[in-house]
């Protein structure tokens, strides 16, 4: 990533603009300030929680007595309150649905009085570039509603800071600040975006979730369940070099991308093959730089067409296999979060296991974020590399980490080891943390040997680990040697 992206909530520029279309109804009555108490897990010590933090964000009322905002505004929340524009009273709210992938959330308030004298704001169309919008929200610098004017400067795929996943996003030059998160961008009295993030140390460069992504989320939850956004689960390479085109028997008129890998357990498995060339997706030609034309003269990544589908729907493709064109259909039955090797994890506690003072957990985006906004530069390079490739070789695969060592005599010599990717236990390959625990718990060997991706071994005397573990946990004030989800992984 070239730039530093930050989310726009605040712990604790007012420009006034007038929307001429608001004569009949003052749209400000549908804007709310969100107050959130958050307690997040501390991923480097996964048995502990960070201290409670107070954040604020913004949101807007939509149909069905619901409030639309960002996922990161309410992630790991323990208490949420809302305050309407121009009022002093706060109302307790609850989360109905969250998409951490697309950084969207829907809330509600049980008290029907909260929605009196308000009207839902409807979702509008995807705005055009150079179109002006009004951004409503409660940024830092004051407590009252702020309305700023900006211009849509570009629309294309960008990495969402909340999930580290690329989705369609709209760039906007309106002055936005921490606290604007979750506030709507309005055009013709309709929502044309939800403000989500900005570039650190930039001159008014912010991003909003655009209507196609919002609509997908709202359509998804209509049945009372959030399924997510589908992915076919492939790695592809641009085909812009003439030699590469010739090797795969592409004509001069053909454009497309080369399939270089297929994620285990993904919809593409068994349908696409390595070295296939994807020529068209959903009837649209894929260029050699992986883009499609989604509007005249506007291009974005071809995954846009896949992400517009709901989980369970089909998508058609034209491919070139061994020089012959072929039409295929892929059922998009797996959400993107289920095929990611390294994923975002919120609103649940991290998994961990402690044995002989060695602390094991799984690699998540949350863990990497312990290195701050620039984690993709500051985190260990091996972990960053895995997160970038993000490809499963087995359906139930996780990246198992030795995150740290709780120093004691039983692990003498290993005290400085941290962030090791564990591949084997007692010479048996593992796919996930549960398998590691199972091998350890069911072993009768005198020694337990953990081997990392580079062949490094950490050997623990099983009898000593068993006798010292209770005292070690007491010394470090840890209540349990494992997370609740791993308590059944034993004899």
Catalytic residues: 72, 103, 181
308 vs 389: CA distance, rounded Å: 23
Token readout for 215 is 């609509």
User: Shortest CA distance to 205 belongs to which of 4, 469, 431?
Assistant: 4
Q: Do 38 and 31 form a contact (C-beta atoms < 8 A)?
A: no
SS3 247: helix
User: Shortest CA distance to 186 belongs to which of 385, 75, 29?
Assistant: 29
222 φ/ψ angles, rounded to the nearest 5 degrees: -60, -30
User: Shortest CA distance to 183 belongs to which of 28, 342, 365?
Assistant: 28
301 vs 173: CA distance, rounded Å: 22
154 vs 152: CA distance, rounded Å: 6
Distances (CA, A) of 354 to 68, 162, 466: 40, 29, 11
- Long-range Cβ contact pairs of 403-407 (< 8 A, separation 24 or more): 403/44, 403/46, 403/352, 403/359, 403/360, 403/361, 403/367, 404/44, 404/359, 405/357, 405/358, 405/359, 406/354, 406/357, 406/358, 406/359, 406/472, 406/475, 406/476, 407/357
Q: Quick one: CA torsion of 220, 222, 225, 226, rounded to 10 degrees? A: 30
Beta pairing class for 104-108 and 66-69: antiparallel
411 vs 61: CA distance, rounded Å: 56
Q: Which parts of 233-314 fold into alpha helices (H)?
A: 242-247, 303-307
SS3 167: strand
| Cα 468-474-479 angle, rounded to 5 deg | 110
């Amino acid at each position: 990533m070239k730039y530093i992206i930050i989310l726009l909530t605040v712990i604790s520029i007012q420009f006034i603009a007038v929307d001429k279309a608001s004569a009949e109804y003052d749209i400000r009555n549908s804007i709310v300030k969100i107050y959130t108490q958050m307690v997040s897990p501390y991923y480097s010590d996964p048995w502990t929680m960070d201290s409670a933090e107070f954040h604020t964000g913004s949101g807007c009322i939509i149909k069905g007595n619901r409030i639309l905002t960002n996922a990161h505004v309410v992630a790991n929340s323990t208490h949420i309150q809302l305050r309407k524009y121009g009022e002093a009273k706060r109302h307790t709210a609850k989360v109905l649905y969250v998409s951490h992938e697309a950084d969207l959330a829907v809330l509600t308030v049980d008290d029907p009085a909260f929605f009196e004298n308000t009207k839902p704001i409807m979702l509008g169309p995807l705005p055009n570039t150079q179109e002006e919008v009004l951004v409503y929200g409660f940024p830092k610098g004051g407590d009252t509603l702020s309305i700023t004017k900006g211009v849509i400067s570009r629309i294309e795929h960008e990495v969402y800071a909340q999930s580290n996943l690329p989705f369609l996003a709209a760039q906007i030059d309106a002055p936005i600040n921490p606290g604007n998160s979750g506030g709507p961008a309005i055009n013709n009295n309709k929502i044309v975006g939800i403000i989500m993030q900005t570039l650190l140390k930039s001159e008014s460069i912010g991003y909003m979730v655009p209507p196609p992504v919002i609509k997908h989320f709202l359509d998804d939850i209509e049945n009372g369940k959030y399924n997510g956004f589908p992915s076919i689960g492939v790695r592809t390479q641009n085909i812009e070099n003439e030699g590469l085109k010739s090797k795969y028997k592409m004509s001069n008129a053909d454009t497309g991308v080369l399939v270089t890998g297929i994620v285990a357990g993904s919809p593409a498995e068994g349908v696409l093959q390595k070295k296939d060339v994807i020529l068209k997706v959903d009837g649209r030609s894929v260029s050699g730089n992986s883009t499609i034309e989604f509007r005249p003269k506007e291009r974005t990544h071809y995954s846009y067409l896949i992400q517009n589908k709901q989980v369970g729907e089909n998508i058609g493709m034209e491919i070139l296999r061994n020089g012959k064109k072929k039409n295929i259909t892929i059922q998009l039955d797996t959400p993107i979060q289920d095929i990611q090797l390294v994923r975002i994890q919120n609103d649940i506690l991290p998994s961990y296991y402690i044995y002989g003072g060695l602390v094991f957990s799984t690699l998540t985006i949350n863990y990497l974020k312990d290195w701050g906004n620039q984690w993709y530069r500051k985190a260990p390079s091996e972990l960053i590399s895995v997160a970038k490739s993000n490809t499963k070789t087995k359906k139930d695969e996780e990246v198992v980490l030795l995150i740290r060592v709780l120093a004691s005599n039983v692990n003498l010599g290993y005290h400085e080891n941290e962030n090791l990717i564990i591949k084997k236990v007692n010479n048996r390959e593992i796919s996930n943390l549960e398998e590691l625990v199972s091998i350890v718990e069911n072993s009768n060997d005198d020694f337990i040997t953990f081997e990392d991706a580079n062949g490094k071994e950490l050997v623990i005397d099983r009898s000593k680990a068993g006798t010292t573990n209770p005292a070690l946990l007491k010394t470090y004030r840890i209540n349990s040697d494992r997370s609740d989800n791993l308590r059944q992984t034993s004899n």
